Amino acid sequence: MLIRMPATMPDRCEHLELPHPRRLIWTAAWNMAESVGLPFGAYIVATDLWGRNPGLLAGLGVVWLLIVIRKLVSGNASALLMISAVVLTLQTAVVIFTGNVWMYLLQFPLANLAMCVLFARTAPTRKPLVAQLAAEVVALKQPDEHHPGLHRFFQGVTWFWAGLFLILTLGMAVMMVTEPFTLFMLLSTAATIVITLVGAGICVVWFLAVVRKLGLRLHFAAA
């Protein structure tokens, strides 16, 4: 009796792919310009011409206009653009509808709290926010098949960023009631920059360690 052996599956090398460095820089730069640069530019121009409140509305209008354009052209808007829309909508509402200095400062912890909620809400799902940002901002291509280890990493790092934004929220809330306006602005800006850079550095090291542990390859696509 002839026994047929199962066919041997071809070797499959799972890997992560980043676009060619030139395209990577362009993709990241465009996403940052779209979600931060264009709204901020509109804010600066409109503020110089008509004042603070029209400037805020101009920046917010640019963000929502870009979202509408994205929806019409591709059917969806990037996660980074949606984050900008949420944060700017919250900040604009607080600034315009309150003339109080204390309420003006409230926009900063509230914006970080909104970021905390956004990250935490997606962390336990099948589409953690950091995975979406990695795909959109740096065009990271993952293996064709769902990779549980990589998914757990993106869930963990999304919780990590939710925690960082919670720390910023609490820190700014304390500084609001303990520090004068000028010092608050200085300290909150410095804290945001430092925590963001440290967090990004930790995530890069964490990602490379996970990739190595899972036996995945990370390489750049051809030009």
* Phi, psi (degrees; rounded to nearest 5) at 75: 90, -10
CB 28 within 8 A of CB 20: no
With a cut of 90, say whether residue 108 has pLDDT above it: no
- pLDDT tens, position by position, 151-203: 999 999 999 999 999 999 999 999 988 988 788 888 888 998 899 999 999 99
Burial 167-195 (b: 16+ CB within 10 A, else e): ebbebbbebbeebeeeebeeebeebbeeb
Higher pLDDT, 139 or 178: 178
Tell the residue number behind the tokens 């799972």, with chain if given: 14
CB 110 within 8 A of CB 90: yes
With a cut of 60, say whether residue 6 has pLDDT above it: no
State the pLDDT at residue 7: 41
Q: Rounded CA gap, 44 and 146, in Å?
A: 44
- pLDDT tens, position by position, 38-97: 888 898 899 889 987 888 899 999 999 999 998 898 888 888 888 888 888 888 888 887
Q: If you count DSSP H runs as helices and E runs as strands, how many of each does the chain have, helices first?
A: 8, 2
